[in-house]
Amino acid sequence: MSAPYYTGREAELADLFGAREVIVADDHLVVDGRRLPVVDDVIVALPSDRLPGGTGGETYAPDVQRSFGAEWTAHPEILPEHRAEFDAYFDLVDLEQLRGARVADLGCGSGRWASFVAPHCDELVVVDFSDAIFVARRNLAEHRRTIFVMADVLDLPFRPDAVDFAYCLGVLHHLPVDALGACRRLAPLAPRLLVYLYYALDNRPWHFRLLLRPVTVARRVLSRVTGERTRAVLTWLIALTVYLPLALAGRAARRLRAGRFVPLGETYADSTVARMRQDVYDRFFTPIEQRFSRADIATLDDTFDRVAVSPGLPYWHFLCERAARSPAAE
């Protein structure tokens, strides 16, 4: 029988958790006397009432947890176009500065972004509160310097400044708390935090905001659909009848330098149908959606020393920075 995945990494785990002692056993860790199960190399740090099927917690939305777990189980693939999307998200980040760093992916889903970050950093901590964490474990199997944690991103078991850089892309706007407040709550974790929140269409023509109204109604209705077969049919239907035609229209409009006037056109002009289906699932089967303007994001300067909003797609992704705490100040 091979040694447990975390054998020999007790010091790293103790530093991450801010613990005096970590003991690695076959199917669990003991962190300062607290027993944390380890399932398929995933450290389960969720309270029992927040495990899949649970009912409790201020930041816990069981329907969101169930939906995202199902999404990444149904769509586990890391697709070729994810590389270009990763480059767009990380346009504000110098990846060379991650050499030797510990990086956290908060709300990792299938591990698609983590797969591109892993080669650049020394250690990667991936976190998700749903069964998607097990999909990420499979997709990141070759990256041995990865720690897998099932936890609530707003109730993390880690010490302050546990990581050098963290990112949380497309997650916080789906939680049952104010997403900007959630950004502020994550500030102690790392001196640099990259976030993506749905935009309020504040840099788009008026017809985008008009079209959002029926789309929102459709999302609220479809998010109540729980059958996976029905969801699969609907993702195909919406991808082929809505996303694909708009993507083709966007491609044509791009030649006329008018791509920004076509809803979904800029985002999906070069996407495959498989990629569109992933986002249809993400977009229409989620009961909670929040949107923010660039001006809203600028208010985070009350917590961070610097907030830089990227001018590029996807809107809005932004980098929050603050001074690192010195060990003596802890």
Span 216-259, pLDDT tens digits: 999 999 999 989 999 999 999 999 999 999 999 999 999 999 98
For 107, the token pair is 């709300």
Report if residue 290 sits inside a domain. Answer: no
Are 35 and 86 part of one and the same domain? no
**Which residue segment(s) compose the domain that 137 sits in?**
41-61+72-198+298-329
Phi and psi torsions of 23, nearest 5°: -115, 130
Please give the model's pTM, rounded to 2 decimal places: 0.93
User: Are residues 180 and 228 both part of a single domain?
Assistant: no
pLDDT at 1 exceeding the cut of 50: no
Pairing between strand 28-31 and 102-106? unpaired
Please indicate, yes or no, whether residues 127 and 54 belong to a single structural domain of this protein: yes
* Co-location of 166 and 267 in the same domain: no
**Residue 84 in domain:** yes
pLDDT in tens, 101-160: 999 999 999 999 999 999 999 999 999 999 999 999 999 999 989 999 999 999 999 999
In a domain, 67, yes or no: no
Dihedral pair phi/psi, residue 50, rounded to 5°: -115, 5
Sheet strands side by side (includes 306-309): 22-24, 28-31, 34-39, 42-44, 146-150, 123-128, 102-106, 165-169, 192-196, 317-321, 306-309
Contacts of residue 182, defined as CB under 8 A and 6 or more positions apart, other chains included, come to 59, 153, 154, 172, 175
State which amino acid sits at residue 149. Answer: V
What is the per-residue pLDDT for 48? 74
Task: Give the count of domains, the chain.
Answer: 3
> Does residue 194 share a domain with residue 113?
yes
**Tens of pLDDT, residues 43-94:** 999 887 766 766 666 666 677 777 777 777 878 888 889 999 999 999 999 9
Q: Which of 26-40, 47-61, 192-206, 267-281 has the lowest mean pLDDT?
A: 47-61
pLDDT of residue 328: 45
156 and 302 in a single domain? The answer is yes
Q: Do 277 and 224 lie in a common domain?
A: yes
Q: What's the CA gap between 239 and 248, in Å, rounded?
A: 12
